[in-house]
A and B are shown apart, each in its own frame.
Chain A
Amino acid sequence: MGFLLQFARGPLFRLCFIIMLLGLARILFLDFWGAQKVYRRAGDKKMPWRLIASRTFEWVFPVKRVFRNRQVYSFFSILFHIGLIIVPVFLFAHISLWKSSVGISWPALPYWWAFWLTAATIVFATLMLVERLVVKSIHSLSRGQDYLWLLLLLLPFVTGFVCANLNISAGVYQFLMLVHVLSGDLIFFMTPFTKIAHCVLAPFSQVIDALAWKFPPKTDEDICATLSKKGAPV
């Protein structure tokens, strides 16, 4: 078990983390590549930058629009996202690992902050899961992966919380820690290939939307030629 744990938080973690970084870089690159192609082809190159900026801002810093509708869900969701980012990055134990392996470190969250933030993230993720199960509109839209992702995200939080705060036997600790690290690795690994990619893509959605309405000129001719509809009546 000890060896497995070492492997999971050593080479496997590094591999998964690199895959995540490269994967996210790849989809970002593909997004930008697609966007620049569209921009070059567009007949109208004037972009509504002010509108794009203000709408992007509305969602990247969700304080106003987000609370106009579905206030409870929005509240759960925002806190869940905050916990999801802050806890893993600023946990003392995680920073120590970075320090010992890569040699870099940064200030950590005080213990009680970390405790409450982790607990809150677990509670809010659970509430979101419950909401997915019981609210008709969300339930009807949900795919298997939407539940699985929430469960998978909960796993390292719950196991980490138990290991850090409860008095458990060494064997159980080791086992839970292994689950903790492996689930974390899996999350990193899958991030670029699943909807979690929104962590890097969402801030660009407004630009992409605006660009999408910038059509290339002369599509009529080109499409008619491809579909053999030249001269066909309307």
Chain B
Amino acid sequence: MRTTVVTDEERKKALASTKKPEVVERQKLNVRYHVEDCDVNDRPRRFLEVFAAILKHSNYKMVLDHFIRMTGRCSRCAVACHIYQATDDPKDIPCYRSGLLLDVYRRHFTMGGLLKGRISGGGYLTDEKIQEVAESFWNCTACRRCALECPLGLDHGLITHLGRYILSEIGIVPRALAVSVRAQLEGPFHNTSAVPVPALKDTLEFLEDDMFEEKSVEIKFPTDVEGSDYVFFAPVSDYLMEADSLMGIAAVFAATGDSWTIGTGYFDAINYGLFYNDRILERVIKNVDQETRRLKGKHVLIGECGHASRVAKNFMPTYCGGEDSVPVINILEYTYKVWKEGRLNLNPDVITEKIAYHDPCNFARNRWIVNQPREVLRSFCKNYVEMTPAGEDNICCGGGGGAVSMDELRPYRTTIGGKLKAEQIRKSGCEILVAPCANCKKQLRELVEDQGLDCRVVGFHDLVYKAIKFDDSLLVRKEEEVTAGQNNGLSDPRDSSEGKEK
């Protein structure tokens, strides 16, 4: 047996359901994630109706036709999937999972399947099959690693995406995601964490004060500045949990002097539509576009968030004007660009710990952001190590595809989903793991805790914030230091260690 397979005890812990039997009975659905009560009647018919509507108005038919004409069932994808590697359950082989939906398509939407069904009188979609799809498609973290291993080029992540889309239209969607999206699209505060604008402004002011204290530089979070080069959208959870990443980003802008702003009309980058529903994806991304246009911004700038960046980059052109859509850039790209131009100085003596970089799947799988952050990190982290495999072949943190937002899945995520990643981290021996994605950060922190790993998980800009060196002209003499300096003969803060290193 492979060493990556979980033990029986771990399996039991990971697969244990926290749901009450009466809930399962009422919802007629036995899945580990929580679901809101929804119509349980006639699911197969409604599933097929939705499937038909999606086929009619979307582009999925082409790809389903292509896939059903040639699936080879070689099981090569099994070696790529971190879920199967941990469970050793054939039902977790990507090709098996995709097969569940492809079979429904073949049986109900192709001439051959309809004929065969007529003759044999069987093969209908049943409640049991829907139950299997509902369970299987949310075991997958939609990391799309298996697509790289398929000799025939089947993108199983896309099939997972479509399967979840159909399920969501008949009401089967993880509650955690549905509640967040409701808050974002219909709530009074227009973001997934229901953060009111005054609270956001308070947080930003507080961070500005903190940064001034620490760096003696006026670092601002500009809000609602029209005509800025960059309109910034962070995953809103960053304002609650990732202060260091945000401060790092603000510090980079303070160093470069480029104009950026946070719009108070809409400021949440999170787009759970990517995880379960194209219609949601479209609505959310349109909000990002509207806010950028309201502020007459020149670029959409997405913070440290893999899925939000991919959605904005790939779907702004789709839904918001094609070639005329506002260009999208991720903060790692921006920081890399200004570092390359020599506008960002990082002190190589500050970070001494062993550092490794985790590739968020949504950055790396399509070779979008792979080397840029590494180049920057290597320049100021003396003790940088690489985990293998990395880059486009990286192993998912185990919380992808929305899984990390479901707290009821934590045992599953950190025992099965993150098993391979945990081993990779352990092997690397890193003390600090850099993960420039809000979802990855949360999952990896829980993984580190549950698997007893001895390392800290931080964002990319957390380290940048620590190591950034400001130009002398930006350093501000603080009153108390002036007084203290006069009293005890200390020098001007501009001559502080950071200043001297220049």
Inter-chain contact A65/B148, CB cutoff 8 Å: yes
A 80-128 contacts with B by CB, 8 A: none
* Other 10 A-B pairs with CB < 8 A, given A198-B69, A222-B57: A42-B59, A42-B318, A43-B317, A141-B96, A146-B72, A205-B153, A212-B155, A217-B319, A220-B279, A234-B178
- Name B92's closest neighbour in chain A (CB-CB): A137
Chain A residue nearest to B280 (CB atoms) is A234
Is there contact, CB below 8 Å, between A214 and B59? Answer: yes
B433 at the interface (CB under 8 A from A): no
Q: Does A202 contact B (CB under 8 A)?
A: yes
Q: Please, how many residues of chain A have a CB less than 8 angstroms from a CB on the other chain? A: 61
Render A120-159 as a binary contact track against B, CB cut-off 8 A, 1 for contact: 0000000000000001111011110010000000000000
The interface-forming segment of B46-54, B116-124, B459-467 is B46-54
Residue of B nearest to A222 (CB): B57
Task: State whether the Cβ of B482 lies closer than 8 Å to any Cβ in chain A.
Answer: no
CB distance from B341 to the nearest CB of A (A): 25
- Whether A212 pairs with B63 at a CB distance below 8 angstroms is yes
Q: Which 3 A-B pairs have the closest CB atoms?
A: A205-B153, A140-B90, A34-B62
**CB atoms of B70 and A202 under 8 A apart:** yes
Bound-state CA distance A213–B310 (Å) is 12
CB distance from B359 to the nearest CB of A (A): 16
Q: Which of A11-19, A45-53, A168-176 sits within the interface?
A: A45-53
Closest to B169 in A: A227
29 A-B pairs (CB sep. < 8 Å): A34-B61, A34-B65, A42-B318, A65-B148, A65-B149, A66-B151, A73-B76, A136-B88, A138-B74, A141-B90, A141-B99, A198-B69, A201-B66, A201-B69, A201-B70, A201-B152, A202-B70, A204-B66, A205-B152, A209-B63, A209-B147, A209-B155, A213-B158, A215-B59, A215-B315, A216-B58, A220-B278, A227-B50, A234-B182
Does B71 belong to the interface (CB within 8 Å)? Answer: yes
CA distance A56 to B153 in the complex (A): 8
Q: Is B75 an interface residue (CB 8 A)?
A: yes
Listed in ascending order, the chain A residues whose CB lies under 8 Å from chain B are: 27, 30-31, 34-35, 37-38, 41-46, 48, 51, 55-56, 59, 62, 65-66, 69-70, 73, 77, 135-138, 140-143, 146, 195, 197-198, 201-202, 204-206, 208-209, 211-220, 222-224, 226-227, 233-234
Provide the bound-state CA to CA distance between A34 and B55, in Å.
12
* Residue contact A141 to B95, C-beta cutoff 8 Å: yes
Contact status A198-B93, CB under 8 Å: no
Cβ–Cβ contact A223 & B53, under 8 A: yes
B59 touches A146 (CB 8 A): no
Distance A213 CA – B157 CA, assembled complex (angstroms) = 11
Question: Complex: how many Å from CA A197 to CA B67?
Answer: 11
Contact with A along B63-87 (1 / 0, CB 8 A): 1011001111111101110001000
Contact B63 A195 (CB under 8 A): no
Contact indicator A43/B366 (Cβ below 8 Å) = no
Distance between A63 CB and nearest chain B CB, rounded to angstroms: 13
Residue of B nearest to A215 (CB): B318
Contact B96 A205 (CB under 8 A): no
Contact status A140-B158, CB under 8 Å: no
* Residue of A with least CB distance to B147: A209
Does B65 lie within 8 Å of A31, measured CB to CB? Answer: yes
Question: How many Å from the CB of A147 to the closest CB on chain B?
Answer: 11
Flag whether B185 is at the interface (Cβ < 8 A): yes
- Separation of A35 and B49 alpha carbons in the complex (Å): 24
User: Smallest distance from the beta carbon of B448 to chain A beta carbons, Å?
Assistant: 27
Instruction: Select which of B56, B66, B84, B323 is within 8 A of A205 by beta carbon.
Output: B66
Contact B79 A69 (CB under 8 A): yes
Whose C-beta in chain B lies nearest to the C-beta of A78?
B151
* Chain A CB within 8 A of B21 CB: no
Contacts of A226 in B (CB 8 A): 53, 56-57
Q: A34-B65, A138-B75, A234-B182 are in contact. Are A43 and B319 (CB under 8 A)?
A: yes
CA distance in complex: A142, B66 (Å): 20
- By a CB distance below 8 angstroms, the chain A residues around B60 are 212
Chain A residue contacts of B58, Cβ below 8 A: 215-216, 219, 223
